[in-house]
Chain A
Amino acid sequence: MSAISFPEPALAQQADEHAAPRAARRWYRQPALATGLVLLAVIVIAAAAAPLLTPYNPIKQNLGASLLGPSAHHLLGTDQTGRDTFARLLYGLRNDLRIAFIAVLAPFCIGTILGSIAGYFGGWVDTVLMRLVDVVVAFPFYVLIIALVFVLGPGERSIYIAITLVGWVSYARIIRGEILVAKRQDYVVAARSGGLSPIRIIGRHLLPNVITQAFIYAMSDIVQDILAIVTLGYFGLGVPPPIPDLGSMINDGQNFLTTHWQLTTFPGLAVVLVGLSLSLIGDGLADVLRPGHS
């Protein structure tokens, strides 16, 4: 399919030992990873440089210029209160990306810590933590997020709390599984034989060997979080109204879909591109960091 990835039987033979460093050097040869990184870089730069790319304030209304079509002044036209759609798109991306990247940190850390404790120590600690995980997993992700944000009240803080409460379980499961396998490896027994404390063994010997899996999952988790943030915005449970957000833009523009399709289409397209770029990065990372699993 792709012209770039030739099979390399001679290299694959001796891949096991040396694959990791060599693959790391060739990351740019992975078409998925390279495409994803470039795409994400463009989106992130555009979002970060929003004030340079558009002269308009995304919040300031101009009722005299509402629902204009695309023009040289307003690249994507204006919405019903006369705000520039392109400006709102960039600032909306900026908010949603920021929230998503921050939101993924807490579940990543909490899940990794609890997962490694459960996996390493086993016994009742493991049983209690994993039953808790089962309870959370029993609910569909979006249903639980929406319900939690509904209870906590709309806003950025509620989004962080909801995503943390729901998101940590996946990391805990992944890390626990990896640690269950890794802790039987000789180097862990060797570390125990050297009189190292469990905390040191987990932190210095186990996690560096298994954290990759959590990183790869985090890429798809960010996609899920962005979708959740957009969905919440669409339902009016996200960041409160004047602040630009892709979800609320899609909802607001829906009423004008037949006449001003650009109001919903471009925010929707932005969500798709963000999701696509992160998924490509996740896939590419998985190939690069897990040789032999491809």
Chain B
Amino acid sequence: MTGQPATPMLDVRDLHVQIAARNGTVRAVDGVSLGVASGEALGLVGESGSGKSMTLRAILGVLPPEATITSGQVLLDGVDLVPLSNSDLNRIRGPKISMIFQEPMSALNPVMRVGDQIAEGPRIHLGYGKAKAAERAQELMRRVGIPDPERRFRAFPHEFSGGMRQRVMIAIALSCDPEIILCDEPTTALDVTIQDQILRLLARLCTESAVSLIFVTHDLPVVAQICQRVAVMYGGQLVETGDVRDVLLNPRHPYTLGLVKSAPDVDYVRESLVPIPGSPPSLVTPPSGCRFHPRCSFVEEDCKVLPTPLRELSGGRATACLHYERAEEAVAADRAASADRGWS
């Protein structure tokens, strides 16, 4: 598929995840295909409930008990992770893939010393002894910028600030030298200055150790700062993929356009924030045709009935919109309007 690297290290193909709920089956992830090359950072953006986190958890095989992968493949270096048993997966989670969570407080064990939590992975996966693992943990703490690791090693998570806890999480994620780190909104719970520090740290570690990232967020500036490519999710499906600058500056899907217009600080010229009308679709009974059509300002009759798979465009991009030219025209019109007023 265009917009995907030639030899993806992680290759997710047509992934479907369903959640059994009281009012029916929720199709949380509905045919998502992603590819991440070695050393690349992919942003996965979308509203709450669009299936971003479920996609990450499905890749790692840590879905909540009521959710299951109903079809699709998750190929890591050519090996499909979906049919693997839990104990086989445990040889891959940690040394090959790891994950960073949104809430650094709740993602750390409150009654275990942080040093032990960082050292746990190397002890199990790399077969380190107690002393060597402790040494490794202190080295990692130094690398992620935790001051005084010899002393902080013995501290408990509640003795750390939010930013420091997230650094601990990053140290845990890095502890077994993974090839790819899945980041589930790692900066959402932090305030802006700390957010920036953590993003810089992640970006630096990525280039230093050639780790790939999948970066889930709803924060577009963050994506612009850290990712090379972006995939936009809506209602459990991908609606647009491509190079980060292309997608954010020239959206080819009305939903991406809506996201960009509703986000502050994006390098997109407009006079005020414009919300997307309506609310996210029900994933129990999703709308027919394009899932975005009930909220789309460019909707046409065929949008309500025709299926909308990703279609490849030039420049390594893909969109699910049947009338993506409309989004393009709207961007051009906005730009012209603001140029008239002497902006930009």
Contact = CB atoms under 8 A, between A and B. Distances in A.
Q: Do A and B belong to a common assembly? A: yes
Interface of A: 17-18, 122, 184-187, 189-198, 200, 204-205, 208-209
A194 B110 contact: no
B111 A190 contact: no
A17 B99 contact: no
Given A18-B158, A189-B101, A196 B124 contact: yes
A209 B103 contact: no
Contacts of A191: 109
Given A194-B121, A194-B172, A205 B109 contact: yes
Interface of B: 57, 60, 62, 64-65, 86-87, 89-95, 97-99, 101-103, 106-112, 120-121, 124-125, 158, 169, 172, 176
Contact of A187 (B65, B91, B109, B125): B109
A186 B125 CA distance: 21
Contact of B110 (A187, A193, A204): A187
Contacts of B120: 194, 196, 204
Contacts of B97: 193
A194 B93 contact: yes
B110 A186 contact: no
Given A184-B64, A186-B101, A190-B101, A209 B109 contact: yes
B273 to A, nearest CB: 31
Given A184-B64, A190-B107, A195-B121, 9 more contacts: A190-B101, A190-B108, A190-B172, A192-B93, A193-B60, A193-B98, A195-B89, A195-B93, A196-B120
A189 B97 CA distance: 14
B124 A209 contact: no
The 3 lowest CB-CB distance pairs between A and B, nearest first, are A195-B94, A195-B93, A186-B107
Contacts of B93: 192-195
A189 B110 CA distance: 14
A186 B112 contact: no
A208 B111 CA distance: 7
B124 A195 contact: yes
A195 B125 contact: yes
Given A187-B108, A209-B109, A209-B110, A192 B103 contact: no
Contacts of A194: 93-94, 98, 120-121, 172
Contacts of A209: 109-111
